[in-house]
Structures are given as C-alpha cells and as structure tokens.
A = this chain, B = another copy of it.
Amino acid sequence: MSFQNPVFIPGPTNIPENLRKACDMPTIDHRSPLFGHILHPAREGVRKVLQSDSAEVFIFPATGTGGWETALTNTLSPGDRVLVARNGMFSHRWIDMCQRHGLDVQVVEVAWGSGIPADRYEEILTADTGHRIKAVLATHNETATGVRSDIGAIRRAMDAAGHPALLFVDGVSSIGSMEFRFDDWGVDVAVTGSQKGFMLPAGLAITGFSTKAMAAIDTATLPRTFFDVRDMAKGYAGNAYPYTPAVGLMNGLNEACKMLLEEGLENVFARHHRIAEGVRAAVRAWGLELCANDPSVQSDTVSAIRTPEGFNATDIVTHAADRYGVAFGVGLGEVAGKVFRIGHLGSLTDVMALSGIATAEMCMADLGLDITLGSGVAAAQDYYRRHPAAGMKGPV
C-alpha cells in the first residue's frame, strides 16, 4: 500500500520517475572513461547547486552523517575546539560526533524551536582572542524541529569578530531545496546527502570544501581513510575513485543536478516555499502551532507541528501508517511525543501535499483531537489556488 501514497517524511523524499531510472543502471567499469562522464558533471552540478564558483566537491558512498565525519576528520586535530549550537536532534548528534572524535566542543544551548543565535556566536568568537576555536558548526535546517537558521548572519558574526575559524554547515535538509549560498556565506565545508533536495535514494554523502578548508587538510591529524578527501581528490584526478563508487547513484545525482539547474534554483526554492505555505496554512486552520517559534525560522522543507499538552504526537505517526499507509515523521529527542512532522521537500505537488494534509486531519480526528475535517485541506487549497505553481496556468 505504502508504495502508492506519497511519503511525508523529511527525507528520503519521493523519488521522481527519471531519477529512479537514472539510478537503476547496469554495471559499467568504474575505471573507464564512461564513469568520468558521470563523475565530473555530477561534481560540477553539485557545485552549482551550492551556488559556488570554487568549492571542491567530494562525494562519498555514505550518508550525511558520513559527510559530517568528512568535514571534521579532514580539517581538525584531536583537542581542537569547535563552537556549535544545539537546537535539535541533528545538531545534538553532530556535537556527539565531535566529542567522540576527541574535539573540545563548546556548546551553545538553544531552545528547540529557535534558530542559531548569531549574536551569541559573535560574543564567543570575539572573546576567543587566541583563536582557539578552529571551527564553527551550524545546522542550517534542523530537521527535527523544522527550524532554519540564518547562515549569512553567522558569517557576519564571524567577520565582525574577525575570527579565522572554519565554518561548517550541515545543509542536509536545505541544500537543493532552500537558499544556500556557499560562496556568499563564506561556508568552508557544506554537507548534505543524496536523499533530500536531490530527491535520490540515500547512499551519498555530498560535501563541498572551500579553498581554506582544503588548506586545513594538510595539518589535520584526526585519523581518516574512508572519508579522506586527499584520496578522493587523487582518484578524481585519475577519473576514478579510491574505492568502488556507487555508480548508479552518481548517475542519479548528475541527473538531479540537471533537473534542479534547469528549473532554476530560485524557482526550486520558490516551489518549496509555496508548498510549505500551504502546509502552514493548514496548521493554522487546525488551531495548532509549529515548533519553529518564529515565522522567520520556519523551514520550507519540514514542519514540526506541536500537538496539545497531554497528547502523544507520536500516535499520529503510528496511526497514519497503520490506518492510512502514510508516513509522517515523529518528534525526536526533547520534542519526542510533543510534535509530529510533515516533510515537504523534494518532489511534491499541490495534490500530493493535500493528500498528506487530509490524512493528518483524519488521524488527528481519529485520535480524538478537536479537528474539523477538511479544514486544513480547505486552507491549503485556498493558498494553492491563489498562488498557482510555476509552469501551471493561473486562476481563470
């Protein structure tokens, strides 16, 4: 049953038909020139999606978590201090990884539902006159809370402090879906995966390194092999990989970049915003609130929706799966049981979004919440009607 309904988890996304076909490739010799015709355009495509002229793109057969490890182990040494905010489960996990790799982690605790406080970063960086902080970590879009932070503001904070630390950005659930400006924001390492904005199956860790990050590689002493970008760079130069690449996924990534760039990144971002606005209109119509505590931080790729006190939000997710064959996301960590999440990134139409909204309201009603059937749908319909999708004809 579930193969028929769209998924509304915040990744992996629904996979467009042509990307499924691009990934489903017969075996080729990954050491032949044919592979080069996939590898190089895919790397170039990712660079453009990052809106960068100069990022070195490294793509590992792994996941976003492997991308985090790539960022850390290639640029830092044991004992290096890093600055990072915890405002949700994914920033929490990255912090945990830093600690397990022997880094000295300075954590800024932030309410789950808030964005990263650039002003607090600025204070800390300004105070760090000895430049002991080697890297600033930022989760662009907290998938757990549906909160998008302002990376440009963090860059400005770093510049205001005159601080030379590297800036690492987890863009797993933002890149390819929401504005991401590698060059303009002075990002040093950007991290994402194949299964979010690129709309592919999971299996690729995708990273971009700035010139400054590349320079840091030589002195970094954290142990690394699988995720060593030096081996990867050497492989690329010879048209190959240091080990066996995931050729079909790389082919899919190449195709995904073509799709996104052909649509135009601004259009891609506008499309995500539009779908998200419909979902948010539904949430308001239900009389519920988002976990994201301010419109300025509401994510266009995932909405974490708070349910009333005393109600276990996870029941909605279980019920939706059991009763309607639809997948939503549960709350994680601090907001477990308090929110359920509707993923709305990647390949999604009005019609698909409405079916998710309709399902959510059936579930809430089934579970005894005071929800008027059709109310969220009507609010979203109203929004979608008034804001026609690009490429679709406007209202009559």
- Residues of chain A touching chain B, judged by Cβ–Cβ distance below 8 Å, are 1-7, 9, 11-17, 20-21, 23-34, 60-66, 68-69, 96-97, 100-102, 193, 195, 201-203, 222-228, 242-249, 319, 321-327, 329-330, 347-352, 354-356, 358-359, 361-362, 365-368, 372-375, 377-378, 381-382, 384-385, 388-389, 391-396
Within the complex, the shortest CB–CB distance from A269 to chain B, in Å, comes to 18
Bound CA–CA A113/B96 (angstroms): 45
Contact B27 A62 (CB under 8 A): no
Contact A7 B27 (CB under 8 A): yes
User: A347 to chain B: which residues have CB within 8 Å?
Assistant: 4
User: A23 to chain B: which residues have CB within 8 Å?
Assistant: 24
User: A321 to chain B: which residues have CB within 8 Å?
Assistant: 29, 32-33
Contact B352 A354 (CB under 8 A): no
Known contacts A12-B247, A14-B26, A61-B203; can you find 19 more A-B pairs with CB under 8 A? A5-B351, A5-B352, A7-B27, A12-B27, A15-B26, A20-B24, A61-B62, A62-B66, A64-B244, A101-B223, A101-B225, A201-B248, A202-B244, A323-B394, A325-B349, A325-B392, A350-B359, A362-B384, A377-B377
User: A358 to chain B: which residues have CB within 8 Å?
Assistant: 351, 354-355, 358, 377, 381
Q: 24 A-B pairs, CB-CB below 8 angstroms?
A: A3-B16, A4-B6, A4-B17, A4-B347, A9-B29, A13-B27, A15-B27, A24-B24, A29-B327, A61-B66, A63-B244, A97-B225, A100-B224, A202-B246, A226-B227, A322-B393, A325-B351, A351-B355, A351-B356, A351-B358, A366-B396, A373-B374, A374-B374, A377-B377
Contact B374 A395 (CB under 8 A): no
Contact A359 B352 (CB under 8 A): no
Which of B28, B243, B327, B362 is close to A2, meaning CB atoms less than 8 Å apart?
Answer: B28
Contact A29 B16 (CB under 8 A): no
Contact B17 A3 (CB under 8 A): yes
User: A4 to chain B: which residues have CB within 8 Å?
Assistant: 6, 14, 16-17, 347-349, 351-352
Which of B65, B243, B378 is close to A65, meaning CB atoms less than 8 Å apart?
Answer: B243
Among A25, A222, A358, max chain B CB count under 10 A is at A358
Bound CA–CA A347/B101 (angstroms): 41
Question: What 6 A-B pairs have minimum CB-CB distances, sorted nearest first?
Answer: A374-B378, A374-B374, A29-B327, A355-B355, A373-B378, A202-B244
Contact A385 B366 (CB under 8 A): yes
Bound CA–CA A359/B381 (angstroms): 8
Within the complex, the shortest CB–CB distance from A287 to chain B, in Å, comes to 15
Contact A31 B355 (CB under 8 A): no
User: A374 to chain B: which residues have CB within 8 Å?
Assistant: 373-375, 377-378, 381
Contact A319 B396 (CB under 8 A): yes
User: A245 to chain B: which residues have CB within 8 Å?
Assistant: 202
User: A377 to chain B: which residues have CB within 8 Å?
Assistant: 354, 358, 373-374, 377-378
CB closest residue in chain B, given A96: B225
